[in-house]
């Protein structure tokens, strides 16, 4: 079996000093830290339904790409929500409610107390809100229902009805905003100020950093799990991860940087070419807004403005910034669904595959391979951030349903895909 991932793609190497000093000396430790991650893991690991998501070895694809290993962290099963976002939005909701109860009583309850309804009389009058392209809002809504508060979620017109329905299923009110994701961010913020609601956003801006920091800290669970799942003695030499506002990328970048700056992997951030705020920022050396309608099938990455605290880490932690076209994402979805030379078929949504698409395009271009030091000894880590969160769109792109792919996975593995 052969494959071809369509271009074009672009890559910008970071011109700033990259990981020139130990993590934290430039203030990064105030954004994310292993100590705060330990707190997040302590809570999240106690939530009902918690289990590590699979780390899948794609040996057939690695051989075809001329690298030693490709590891795909499949977040499609995370807490039954279909994406990694459960780790961030719901955790930030929990921290917000913990702060409120502690301020009123002097006692900081854990997630189990909220889940049992112990503080519902106090939290039921609180409302959390955010803007979303789908997955983050679903996580916030899930967290609000699980821990006992109300929820209003803002979406832009491009968010599909299935994604809206998935949010509403957790009891949230869903409101549409004309414009882009960033317009929805601003509307959620303004309405929250008027109504006394609490914004639980995955992007930070001037004067708003604490809650996005908690969101990003929750994402660090992914890297912590990967560390324990890799074969003994093996570490990634390269990480290709989705951009968006930069929260997930910054969380993983910070984890590897803080763990050991000397052996930190080459870190590449990948975005849609129609929503390239991070690459534009890398070119400019400062946060830059991506203009236009941000029209991409990678809906979860359709973001035009960089999260400020994510940029603080990525501006000196990422080695390169790539963009890929929608055609590359679609082809990578189909590639994963089909399996490569014995690889397990994987259900991956549109936003799940940007990092892998970037890795495949980089590995297939000799100049880019050389620039990123990709070779036959490279161990590549990518994060499959979502499953088929829009089942109908998935079928249209892949040509088969997610269930059909899972059935073939069961045949290949002898057991149903989790």
Residues that are catalytic = 85, 133
Please report which helix (H) or strand (E) contains residue 194, including its range: helix 181-195
- Compute CA distances 117 → 49, 152, 181, whole Å: 18, 20, 33
Please choose, from the candidates 2, 310, 301, 52, the residue with its C-alpha nearest in 3D space to the C-alpha of residue 180: 301
**186-199 burial, b for 16+ CB within 10 Å, e for fewer?**
bbbbebbeeeebbb
**233-248 burial, b for 16+ CB within 10 Å, e for fewer?**
eebbbbbbbbbbbbbb
Distance CA 356, CA 335 (A): 11
Distance CA 93, CA 114 (A): 11
CA angle 237, 239, 245 (to 5 degrees): 155
Please report which helix (H) or strand (E) contains residue 140, including its range: helix 135-147
**352 and 386 in contact (C-beta within 8 Å)?**
yes
Q: Which two tokens stand for residue 292?
A: 């236009």
3-state secondary structure at position 235: coil
């Amino acid at each position: 079996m052969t494959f071809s991932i369509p271009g074009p793609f672009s890559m910008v190497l970071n011109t700033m000093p990259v990981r020139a000093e130990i993590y934290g000396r430039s203030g990064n430790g105030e954004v994310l830290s292993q100590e705060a991650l330990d707190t997040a893991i302590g809570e999240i690991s106690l939530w009902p339904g918690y289990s590590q998501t699979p780390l899948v070895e794609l040996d057939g694809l690695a051989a075809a790409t001329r690298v030693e290993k490709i590891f795909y962290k499949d977040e499609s099963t995370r807490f039954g929500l279909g994406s990694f976002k459960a780790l961030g939005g719901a955790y930030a909701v929990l921290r917000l409610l913990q702060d409120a109860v502690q301020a009123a009583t002097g006692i900081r309850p854990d997630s189990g107390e909220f889940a049992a309804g112990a503080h519902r009389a106090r939290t039921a009058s609180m409302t959390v809100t955010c803007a979303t392209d789908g997955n983050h809002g679903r996580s916030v809504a899930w967290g609000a229902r699980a821990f006992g508060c109300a929820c209003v979620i803002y979406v832009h017109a491009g968010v599909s009805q299935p994604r809206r329905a998935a949010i509403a299923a957790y009891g949230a009110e869903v409101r549409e905003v004309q414009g882009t994701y960033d317009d929805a961010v601003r509307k959620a913020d303004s309405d929250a100020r008027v109504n006394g609601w609490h914004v639980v956003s995955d992007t930070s801006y001037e004067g708003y950093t604490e809650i996005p920091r908690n969101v990003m800290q929750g994402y660090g669970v992914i890297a912590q799990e990967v560390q324990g799942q890799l074969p003994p003695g093996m570490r990634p030499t390269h990480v290709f991860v989705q951009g968006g506002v930069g929260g997930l990328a910054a969380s993983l970048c910070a984890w590897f940087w803080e763990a050991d700056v000397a052996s930190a992997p080459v870190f590449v951030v990948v975005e849609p070419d129609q929503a390239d705020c991070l690459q534009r920022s890398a070119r400019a050396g400062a946060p830059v807004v991506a203009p236009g309608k941000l029209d991409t099938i990678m809906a979860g990455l359709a973001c035009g403005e960089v999260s400020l605290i994510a940029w603080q880490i990525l501006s000196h932690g990422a080695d390169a910034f790539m963009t890929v076209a929608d055609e590359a994402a679609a082809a990578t979805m189909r590639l994963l669904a089909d399996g490569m030379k014995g690889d397990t078929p994987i259900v991956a949504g549109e936003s799940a595959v940007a990092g892998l698409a970037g890795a495949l395009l980089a590995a297939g271009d000799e100049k880019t391979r050389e620039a990123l030091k990709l070779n036959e000894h490279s161990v590549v880590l990518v994060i499959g951030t979502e499953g088929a969160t829009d089942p109908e769109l998935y079928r249209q792109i892949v040509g088969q349903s997610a269930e059909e792919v899972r059935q073939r996975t069961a045949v290949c593995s002898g057991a149903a895909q989790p």
